[in-house]
């Protein structure tokens, strides 16, 4: 990620930027260029979103948001992240246009070659600081999932383990290997 300007931007200005080939995040008012993701990231994000959406719809729990939906986590200066997948409970969901104000109940990130571990930890901390209750970070290369119950409480799961929704998505359970299966043998 790389900052691309000298002045600070607002979430409203970010929303009005042309939708060309470039994507941006907004971190403390700074526009950050985001590279397009590769095929493994797209496949994995789609798989996770589909699993979540099916479960949430069957149990009438709230709304699942797909890749790059903007969540405004801070104001003055503004921070807006496009989260790979997110769940917001019925009680917390919002109507209207623009970005979601605050963090989702569950934030899901898929680690990409353009990410750094420091950047991912900063996102996890920002999510929890603004009300997130659970964060899953998927690492395609190692086929592991880091499950955060707080910024400092993490459980690392492998393909043989089961991913649970905890208190956020009670009853949700899926084998990690079944999620990563969409990548095939050589992807990741």
Residue 8 has a pLDDT of 82
Q: What is the pLDDT of residues 132-188, one digit of tens each?
A: 999 999 999 999 999 999 999 999 999 999 999 999 999 999 999 999 999 986 555
Confidence band for 35, pLDDT divided at 50, 70 and 90:
low
Confidence check: pLDDT of 1 > 50: no
Mapping DSSP onto H, E and C, the string for 118-184 reads HHHHHHHHHHHHCCCCEEEEEECCCCEEEEEEECCEEEEECCCCEEECCCCCCCCEEEHHHHHHHHC
Check pLDDT > 70 for residue 97.
yes
CATH for the stretch 37-183: 3.90.1570.10
Q: How many CA atoms lie within 13 A of 164 on its CB side?
A: 7
Spans of all domains in the chain: 37-183
- Its pTM stands at 0.87
């Amino acid at each position: 990620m790389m900052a691309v300007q000298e002045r600070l931007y607002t979430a409203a200005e970010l929303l009005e930027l042309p939708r060309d080939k470039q994507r941006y995040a907004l971190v403390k008012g700074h526009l950050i260029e985001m590279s397009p993701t590769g095929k493994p990231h797209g496949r994995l994000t789609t798989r996770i979103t589909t699993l979540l959406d099916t479960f949430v719809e069957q149990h009438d729990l709230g709304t699942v948001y797909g890749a790059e939906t903007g969540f405004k986590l801070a104001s003055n200066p503004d921070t807006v992240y496009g989260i790979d997948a997110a769940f917001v409970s019925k009680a917390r969901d919002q109507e209207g246009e623009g970005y979601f104000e605050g963090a989702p109940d569950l934030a899901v990130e898929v680690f990409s070659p353009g990410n750094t571990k420091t950047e991912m930890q900063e996102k996890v901390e920002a999510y929890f600081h603004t009300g997130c209750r659970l964060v899953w970070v998927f690492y395609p290369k190692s086929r592991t999932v880091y499950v955060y119950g707080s910024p400092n409480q993490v459980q690392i799961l492998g393909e043989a383990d089961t991913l649970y929704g905890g208190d956020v998505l009670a009853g949700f359970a899926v084998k990690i290997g079944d999620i990563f299966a969409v990548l095939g043998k050589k992807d990741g």
